[in-house]
Amino acid sequence: MARDDLAQTEGVVTDVKAGGHFIVQLDSGQQISAKLSGRMRKFHIRVILGDRVTVGVSPYDPSHGLIIHREKLPPRTPFQRPRR
């Protein structure tokens, strides 16, 4: 099945399994298992617990998905030591 045929939904990674598999809580409230797409593995894009991701869900098996995009995190503010 082509990547264009997948229904794209958004969610948050709630659990990390071995071998590039993740448990994702979708915005609709469903929990699905998802794995990294080949392009994300090719370019070594890391996905960690709590990341917001776009998941492609197959219409034939809606309990499994393919993580196709990780949203960019907002820039962190630099740590500043308190003045004495």
Domain boundaries, the chain: 3-70
Specify the pLDDT at position 63: 94
pLDDT of amino acid 33? 97
pLDDT in tens, 3-25: 678 999 999 999 999 988 999 99
- The answer to whether residues 23 and 14 touch, using CB atoms and an 8 Å cutoff, is yes
b/e code 52-69 from CB counts within 10 Å (16+ = b):
ebbbbbeeeeeeebbbbb
Identify the pLDDT of residue 37: 93
- CATH code of the region 3-70: 2.40.50.140
